[in-house]
Structure 1
Amino acid sequence: MAATCYGHAVFFLLAQKHAGEVRAAAVPAVVTTGRNPAVIAADRATTVARLARVTERRCAEPCPSLRIERATLGARLDAIDVEATEAKRQEAAQDRADAERAAAVADPVTETLTTFGIQSRRVDLLAGLAFAAVLEAVACFCWVLALRPVESSKPNTGAAVTPVMNIQSPVVTEYRGYVPDASGPLPPPPQPVAAVTADHGDDVTRVMAEIAAGRLRPTVSEIRQYLGCSQSRAAAVRKQIGDSAQPALNQ
């Protein structure tokens, strides 16, 4: 796990470095033209020295050549000063571009954390290790979930038997049990449950007594709620109540 975390941390650091290089490439580059400021300063010093010598020179008669040389050196000195000013401006622009490029290379979140006195490289390393640990911990947790033992339930040795109804007879016989498989043990013989006809007769008597007392309405829903039976059984009871009440209405 430590080796994997180290590999992840290297990947995260390289990714941050690549992202910083992409951000730095977006900063416009400053192209400098002209001579080096050091060369300009040396040329200016030479021109000032020549102008000083010409200024101290004296002529008994008007010397046009001396005045021309003084004017030439003065103009050259002015040109050198302008060139030096332009070189300083370009140098300041280059410094600003370098600063912007350095700020773009650094991660924005890391730069925010450096205000607390933490070095940016240390913050990058700690962040990469933290991300790697989280990623590897999630992977280990998934492996734990995938490899944990599963409790096996007992296999079912038979299939449930549905109730069997004799269509010719009104008596419904219900059997409860399982049909054994070839490999399973033999279950006890099925025991028939009491016929439903008698139960229906008792239910009809009870329902009719409740209806006669006015405590129950002759509807399937209330009969089902009263008896606590299924919808089909309640419908059968309601039908028998109707059949029983029909002769009385005819009389």
Structure 2
Amino acid sequence: MSRLNGKLVVFGKIIKGVGVLRSIDHVATEDGTNCPTQEVVIVDCGEIPEGADDGVCNFFKDGDPYPDWPADLDKKPDEFSWWMEAVDSIKAFGNEQFKKQDYKIALRKYCKALRYSDVCWELQGIDGGKCSALRKIKSQIYTNCSACNLKLGDLKGALLEADFAIRDGGDNVKAFLRQGQAYMRLKDIDTAVESFKKALNLEPNNGGIKKEFAAARKKIADRRDRENRYSFLFNFCHGCEHAFRLQRLIGFSPPCRLRLQQKLARFCSN
């Protein structure tokens, strides 16, 4: 171990708070430097007196009695019902934060609920009914995670979690809705329409989904209208090495038509 001489190295065993280290470990770092992209600050440290609160439970002072990570539990019950009750409770805390529009904390709660649900698969005596119940609630939680990420602007994360929700619950209407919303904001309108169609097949009278579906179809109709209006330009430029540039201009609004035609003239004269 001589290679560690002069280095700041500590050997020990984590008794509580493994989630803190996991959270730090998951912070993104800059390429080549390993520096975290956001601040990781130790605001307090020291020895916890005998019998004092270690701060693992109810960290946010919101009444949530469960530690962030199941590994920090003093005792792990063997009853499936205990774990499902914990998952439901943590999910409810996430719902409260979502209603308050604190989407970061809501997402943190939902991720915590997923960690507790993962423990259920390790328990003895998991029958078909329990598996179905577990998959259903996981699908709901993933859908809620997707909704949070849509609010936070993490569109790829929202899409991934919607996919996970659909994997665990093929009849989850909200999962298809979130998937469609993510595709819409990623500008993949055609795929969004397919997601909204699947949602409508499950709930044909859902007004919210109908509205999203109509908006997506209108975008496609508008795009086709632009393509038809400018198709003569592409025909005129058939074989021109600059034709591909015009394809990038097809999204221009009608007031920009004159500029588009001027660009066409310049391209074709080269």
TM interval, shorter chain, is under 0.3
TM-score, normalised by the number of residues in structure 2: 0.20
More helix by share: 1
Higher relative contact order (CA 8 A, sep 6+): 1
Whose radius of gyration is greater, 1 or 2?
A: 1
